[in-house]
Amino acid sequence: MKDIGLVGLPFSGKSTLFTALTRAGAKGGHANQAVVPVPDPRVDVLAEMERSRKRVHAQVRFVDVPGGTSSAQGIAQLREVDALCVVVRCFGPDPRPAAELAEVTADLILADAAVVESALARAEKRSRGKPTSEVEALRAAARALEAETPLRNAGLSEEQRRELRAIAPLSLKPWVVVANLEEGAELPPELPEGTVGVWAEIEAETAQMDPEEARVLLEEFGVREPGLDSVVRAGYRALDLITFLTTGEDETRAWEVRRGARAPEAAGVIHSDLERGFIRAEVIGYEELVAAGSMEAARHKGLVRVEGKDYVVREGDVLHVRFAI
């Protein structure tokens, strides 16, 4: 499961958003971690179709990092997460969301500049003046940070990104910007494209309520149901994962795998035995399966393909793995 860290200036509403997010799922053991199912209507459609006894959604974990970017401990915790969710305040007196976003970005850049600088010094010493790919990557990173460019936008090559993995730069992590809005307010135009708006406070207030009661109350406030869902979905999208599905009488389930993964790797997400003993995968796209009406009908019509080890799994593939151990 992937982790998404909440960052933002004090009082931007990180903890409020966090509380709202816990509504969607159980807390993950720690007080500052919430495991949240990723909303995916495909799971329900397939479960109905195949009469599955169980439905299992993919999950992400949100982490409310105490102290955020203003403490060394917060920075250290943020290095561990897979993506960032930057919360900016659009409620209350004198909101200045674009300036807040710039400030958070500057904090991330500053934190990265410090680790890049010391890593570069060490790498140069080790390489004794030879131009290694590590030194070269760190120099490229240092130049970008010097120019106040987040590393994610610095045009680094795959290889350079790999070289930087050991220091886990914050500004290289995928991120999603969340505007914490006053109830009923719309997204301010000055925020970047792709910003997700949420009314965190009203969502948080209903977090402890009975789900049906909460829904009615939120409706009264005019909250479009997907407010929180879109935060979860946007976070999940930022992670550059794809979802594949399995379905049967037992359960219908959404799984996550790295974009570009081949069939055995996807099988390994389900169980390591399925990767070790992988023979082939029966594959059909979700839309095609729904159009066919059922897995059985799809098989009859010859719509289920047989794919081997080299098959690159696609978003929405429904897989059935054949294996032997």
Ligand X SMILES: Nc1nc2c(ncn2[C@@H]2O[C@H](COP(=O)(O)OP(=O)(O)OP(=O)(O)O)[C@@H](O)[C@H]2O)c(=O)[nH]1
User: Residues interacting with ligand X, by CB under 6 A?
Assistant: 8, 10-16, 68, 91-92, 180, 182, 199-201
Please state the closest distance from residue 302 (CB atom) to Mg ion, in A: 55
8 binds, among ligand X, Mg ion, none (CB under 5 to 8 A by kind): ligand X
**317-323 sheet: strands from edge to edge:** 54-56, 251-258, 241-246, 317-323, 278-285, 305-307
Q: Distance of alpha carbon 38 from its chain centroid, rounded?
A: 9
Burial of residue 96 (CB within 10 Å: 0-12, 13-18, 19+) is middle
Which stretches of 67-172 are DSSP H helices?
72-79, 97-127, 133-146, 158-164
Q: Quote the least distance from Cβ 83 to Mg ion, whole Å.
A: 19
Give min distance, CB of 14 to ligand X, in A.
3
Q: CB of residue 4 vs ligand X: minimum separation in angstroms?
A: 15
CB nearer to ligand X: pick between 231 and 321: 231
Would you say 15 or 127 has its CB closer to Mg ion? 15
Contact 253, 245 (CB under 8 A): yes
Rounded Cα distance between 14 and 21, Å, is: 10
- Rounded to a whole number of angstroms, the minimum distance from the CB of residue 102 to ligand X is 17
By rule CB under 5 A, what count of residues binds Mg ion?
Answer: 2
Q: Quick one: 14 or 253, whose CB is closer to Mg ion?
A: 14
Measured from the CB atom, the residue of 11 and 221 that comes closer to Mg ion is 11
What residue 3 binds from Mg ion, ligand X, none (CB within 5 to 8 A, per partner kind)? none
13 binds, among Mg ion, ligand X, none (CB under 5 to 8 A by kind): ligand X
| b/e per residue 36-59 (b: at least 16 CB within 10 A) | bbbbbebbebbbebbebeebebbb
Q: Is 32 in the site for Mg ion (CB under 5 A)?
A: no
CA dihedral 212, 183, 185, 238 (to 10 degrees): -60
Query: For residues 202 and 241, which CB has a smaller minimum distance to ligand X in the complex?
Result: 202
Shorter beta-carbon distance to ligand X: residue 101 or 284: 101
CA distance 52 to 250: 5
> Which position among 15, 32, 33, 149 is part of the footprint of Mg ion (CB under 5 A)?
15
Output the smallest distance, CB 93 to ligand X, in A.
Answer: 10
Task: Tell me the H-state helices in 187-279.
Answer: 200-205, 211-220, 226-238, 263-270, 272-276
Nearer to ligand X, 184 or 293 (CB): 184
Q: Nearest approach, Cβ of 177 to ligand X (angstroms)?
A: 14
Where do contacts with Mg ion occur on this chain (CB under 5 A)? 14-15
